[in-house]
């Protein structure tokens, strides 16, 4: 344990990383919280890929989502998901937010596997107060190809069923 703390201290001194950020990552890795949240829905969400294309040769490149067969099979189905809230707006309560298998304090760009999958949640009627602990919601999963209408994977008519 002393070696782990010593490594964190050296990392802070060398890189200037804030203590809260490093301690959240160390605690998260030790508890393996994201592994317990993974299920077939999150695994399917992780299969989302993007294709870069141009409408015309002179136009700017655009990214279009490519949905796997696993994801397509879930489109329109009622599902249950557990994860960490990632607020979209600065408020205490949220009717719309992102859900991820990693906590908001975890640097999404520092892991070995890139950015984790996220699903945009649209609550049916109630607002959910922000929490740093995992929540569980259920709702209808929808795939979205139009980036102007939100995230590529969405959960509509969601209800909070666990906190």
Q: Which residues pair with 93 in a beta bridge?
A: 129
pLDDT confidence band for 55 (50 / 70 / 90):
confident
pLDDT tens digit string along 75-113? 999 999 999 999 999 999 999 999 998 876 665 555 555
Same domain, 27 and 39: no
Q: Clarify whether residues 76 and 156 are in a common domain.
A: yes
Q: What is the pLDDT at residue 84? A: 92
The burial of 110, by beta-carbon neighbours within 10 Å (0-12 exposed, 13-18 middle, 19 or more buried), is given as exposed
Q: Is pLDDT above 80 for 7?
A: no
How many structural domains are present in the chain?
Answer: 2
Residue with the bigger pLDDT between 9 and 152: it is: 152
| Whether 19 and 60 share a structural domain | no
Does 132 share its domain with 86?
yes
Q: In this predicted model, what pLDDT tens digit does every residue of 130-155 receive, in sequence order?
A: 998 999 999 999 999 988 899 999 99
Please report where in the chains the tokens 């002179």 appear, as a residue.
Answer: 58
Give the chain's mean pLDDT. 79
User: Are residues 98 and 137 both part of a single domain?
Assistant: yes
| Nearest of 78, 57, 46 to residue 152 by alpha carbon | 46
Radius of gyration of the chain (CA): 18
User: Are 138 and 71 part of one and the same domain?
Assistant: yes
Whether residues 6 and 61 share a domain: the answer is: no
* One domain, residues 79 and 17: no
* Residue 27 sits in the same domain as residue 105: no
What tokens were used for 99?
């859900």
Q: Which residues of 42-69 are buried (b: 16+ CB within 10 A; e: fewer)?
A: bebbbebeeeeeeeeeeeeeeeebebee
Supply the range of the domain harboring residue 74.
Answer: 35-162
Do 15 and 51 have their domain in common? no
Instruction: Give me the CATH number covering residue 111.
Output: 2.40.50
């Amino acid at each position: 344990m002393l070696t782990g703390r010593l490594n964190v201290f050296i990392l802070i001194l060398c890189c200037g990383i804030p203590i809260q950020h490093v301690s959240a990552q160390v605690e998260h890795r030790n508890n393996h919280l994201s592994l317990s949240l993974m299920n077939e829905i999150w695994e399917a969400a992780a299969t989302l890929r993007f294709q870069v294309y141009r409408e015309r040769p002179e136009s700017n490149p655009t990214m279009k989502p490519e949905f796997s067969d696993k994801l397509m099979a879930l489109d329109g189905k009622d599902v249950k998901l557990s994860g960490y809230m990632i607020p979209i707006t600065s408020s205490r309560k949220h009717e719309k937010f992102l859900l991820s298998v990693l906590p908001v304090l975890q640097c999404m760009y520092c892991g070995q596997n890139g950015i984790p999958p996220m699903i945009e949640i649209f609550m049916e009627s109630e607002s959910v107060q922000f929490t740093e602990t995992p929540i569980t919601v259920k709702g209808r999963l929808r795939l979205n190809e139009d980036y102007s209408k939100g995230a590529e994977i969405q959960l509509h008519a969601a209800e909070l069923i666990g906190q």
